[in-house]
A and B are shown apart, each in its own frame.
Chain A
Amino acid sequence: MTGVSGLTKRFGTNTVLDNIDLEIEDGERVVIIGPSGTGKSTLLRAINFLDHPDAGTITVGDLSVDAARASRRNILALRRRTAFVFQNYALFANKTARENITEALVTVQKRSRADAEARADEVLRETGLLDKADSYPAALSGGQQQRVGIGRAMALDADLMLFDEPTSALDPEWVGEVLDLMRRVAEQRQTMLIVTHEMQFAREIADRIVFMDGGRIVEQGPPSQIFDAPHDKRTRDFLRRVG
């Protein structure tokens, strides 16, 4: 079981996450939608403490961390059970595509270099980028960089994969290849929590849609319910706007 309970995050006097409760089943694919500035990204970033939450409990697998009392060791343990895909890819600029994937396997997971490289090549094959293994990020297109970013996250074999608007920074021509790769990740019954503005993709990939507004979860349910018969007026308004 994975999820958060009572998760709260304030930036100054602004409450960005207001007592969020969210449970995710193993293998479940949950997509968070909602207007910008409603805390969707902050929720993802609070789960692995990129933004330190002020209160609440975060659970990933058999590990539960109380945000108010989290030690550096707790935070590392949590980060090692999650994988994160960034909006701006955030590939290590001084590492090739292959090294981007092996880096954490060797330094964090303490796997042998040969083992890590074998895993990296496996992932690069899956992402269709084996021929770019020795390229540095600066030499890759946005779509290729994001596929490496997803590959880096896949290789970690994390309990929970977090995707923070993975196609928002991409030129339209690269969006399709990134979504295709995410579909393939989803097919492997990987537990995924995704923030995206790609509504068609959300409808097709998600087991559950979570609609957030103003730092709270307004409503959630299967895609058919949220997209075709939303209960809350805010959900209806939002869907009409992005429609």
Chain B
Amino acid sequence: MQPLDIDYMLGLVPVLLGYVPLTLGMALASMAFALVLAALLAVERVVRVPVLDQAVMLFISFFRGTPLLVQLFLFYYGLPQLMSFLTQINGVTAAIMGLTLHFAAYMAESIRAAIIGVDRNQWEASMAVGMTRAQMLRRIVLPQASRVAAPTLVNYFIDMIKSTSLAFTLGVTELMGATQKEAAGSFLYFESFIVVAVIYWIIVEVLSYGQRLLESRMEEAYAR
């Protein structure tokens, strides 16, 4: 067994850290879009607009039922073939699109469950004071549902950060893509991939700490 090349590993850290902003940027952008889309999908699933409801169910079924990698390839390689004006779609754009739609499908279901879990008397009290359905959702129901959904949504965000690594298959040099290149140049595969693994791990741990802060803040209103 060969000893690990510690000097190489230490030298690799600053190089790879330079790609963290792109990885986090893709994850944050996808999460922001996915949250908005998921909330809309979830509200539709609760309110059930005819025809639209079937379309939403089909959307959720497809994006939960097929691999993320297949979806990314569909957007990156497939879309330009269908729409000739998209002669070349940017890999980062395709990755954000794929991550957004894929995770929105999952998140919609957990937001929907959280909405349904809001106590019936909260809906009734909102109706009794004369709120419209939109006011009721925005002011009372969604804020309460978000507290229930928050832990699962953070989980999806963690999953999403790690899933940005698939963007390297679309030719994007993000954290994973950069590691791949470094490893191919140095032939030090173990060193390279263990360094990138630890970087992902630390990002997720920092986020988990943030999750605990967020959750204790959201519990404030409900403390006895």
Contact = CB atoms under 8 A, between A and B. Distances in A.
Contacts, number: 72
Contact of A94 (B127, B128, B130, B143): B143
B131 interface: yes
Label chain A's interface by main secondary structure.
loop
A136 B218 CA distance: 12
A79 B127 contact: yes
Interface string A94-119: 11100000011001100000000000
Given A88-B121, A90-B121, A93-B144, A50 B131 contact: no
A165 to B, nearest CB: 13
B222 A152 contact: no
Contacts of B126: 92
A48 B125 CA distance: 11
A198 to B, nearest CB: 22
A139 B122 contact: no
B124 A139 contact: no
Given A88-B121, A90-B121, A93-B119, A108 B140 contact: no
A17 interface: no
Nearest to A108: B130
Nearest to A92: B140
Nearest to B139: A107
A139 B129 CA distance: 23
Identify which of B139, B143, B144 gathers the most chain A CB atoms within 10 Å of its CB: B139
A83 B128 contact: yes
A76 B224 contact: no
B135 interface: yes
A138 B132 contact: no
A80 B128 contact: no
B139 A50 contact: no
A138 B224 contact: yes
Interface in B192-212: none
Contacts of A139: 223-224
B221 A108 contact: no
Contacts of B224: 138-139
Nearest to A96: B221
Nearest to A84: B128
A91 B140 CA distance: 10
A101 to B, nearest CB: 10
B122 A93 contact: yes
13 contacts: A48-B127, A79-B130, A82-B128, A86-B128, A90-B121, A90-B122, A90-B124, A92-B125, A93-B222, A94-B140, A94-B144, A103-B129, A108-B135
- Shortest 8 CB-CB contacts between residues of A and residues of B: A104-B129, A90-B121, A80-B130, A84-B128, A90-B125, A79-B130, A136-B221, A108-B130
Given A79-B128, A90-B122, A139-B223, 14 more contacts: A50-B127, A79-B127, A83-B128, A84-B125, A86-B121, A86-B124, A90-B128, A92-B122, A92-B125, A94-B147, A95-B221, A136-B223, A138-B221, A138-B224
